[in-house]
Amino acid sequence: MEVISLRYSSEYLDRAIAYFQDKWATEETMLVYDDCLRNSIDAVNSLPQWYLLIDGNRVIGGQAEIPVHLLKFES
């Protein structure tokens, strides 16, 4: 298994977008994930960071490190 940072391995970008959209996106947020992942590649700030866990040629997990202000809190 291998952990891939999208910032340093942008060739995985399309696979990452598909993975995170499949796992977390709704119809309304599909483009949000696409935009966030694409813009994180050349981001000046240290966050956001997106990672994939790859086993062989298969994506088996993912992680995002994002600034707190991007989270939606509900009470």
> Per the structure block, which two tokens stand in for 75?
């009470």
**Segments making up each domain of the chain, as ranges:** 2-69
The pLDDT value given to residue 70: 56
Euclidean distance between CA atoms 22 and 37, whole angstroms:
14
Give pLDDT tens digits for 10-25: 999 999 999 999 999 9
Give pLDDT tens digits for 40-65: 999 999 999 999 999 999 999 999 99
SS3 51: strand
Spell out the long-range contacts of 62-67 with Cβ–Cβ below 8 A and sequence spacing 24 or more. Answer: 62/16, 62/19, 62/20, 62/23, 64/20, 66/36
The predicted model gives 25-47 an average pLDDT of 94
